[in-house]
Amino acid sequence: MEKLDIVKETRDAYAYLKRRSSKLVHFSFQSKGESIPVYLNSELYNWTIENLVKNGIDAMKGKGHVSIEIIPVGKNVQILVSDTGSGIPRRDYNNIFNPGVTSKKRGWGLGLSLVKRIVEEYHKGKIKVLSSSKEGTIMQITLKVAE
């Protein structure tokens, strides 16, 4: 774990994913803070963002909008990853974090279970489905800002 700027880490992960994705996926990035220190494992955090973005792209069948937003809230910072995919039924909001849960033909259903462990056990943060509908999904990570 290292004290790193979550805005830079997230923007770098975002730029990398944008560069490697289809032109049919539109990306946007927004941060309400300029530089926000958080204790992070950079590799695990990057992997987490990549997994959330890939799930979003899967849910929109390769075409739509992915957006990442960083919002400082008191002693915490929220990272929102939104997509314009098909959404998650409300009864599955918690379920999708369990290993082996997948709706994909070739899915393993392991991504979100590892993402949850990385965020909650490793970084002592929180992750949840903030909202979801037929218009898309917003995943929310909450981490503590470093002193």
Ligand X SMILES: Nc1ncnc2c1ncn2[C@@H]1O[C@H](COP(=O)(O)OP(=O)(O)O)[C@@H](O)[C@H]1O
Contacted entry of Mg ion, ligand X, none for residue 88, CB cut-off 5 to 8 Å set by kind: ligand X
The H or E element spanning position 79 is strand 76-83
Residues between 77 and 106 that touch ligand X (CB under 6 A): 83, 85, 87-88, 96, 101-104
Distance from C-alpha of 54 to C-alpha of 87, rounded to nearest angstrom: 14
Size of the site for ligand X (CB under 6 A): 21
State both tokens at 106: 């070739």
> Least distance to Mg ion from the beta carbon of 64, Å?
16
C-alpha pair distances (Å), 139 with each of 51, 71, 88, 101, 106: 11, 13, 11, 17, 22
- Using Cβ positions, the residue closest to Mg ion within the complex turns out to be 111
Q: Is 49 in the site for ligand X (CB under 6 A)?
A: no
Contacted entry of ligand X, Mg ion, none for residue 71, CB cut-off 5 to 8 Å set by kind: none
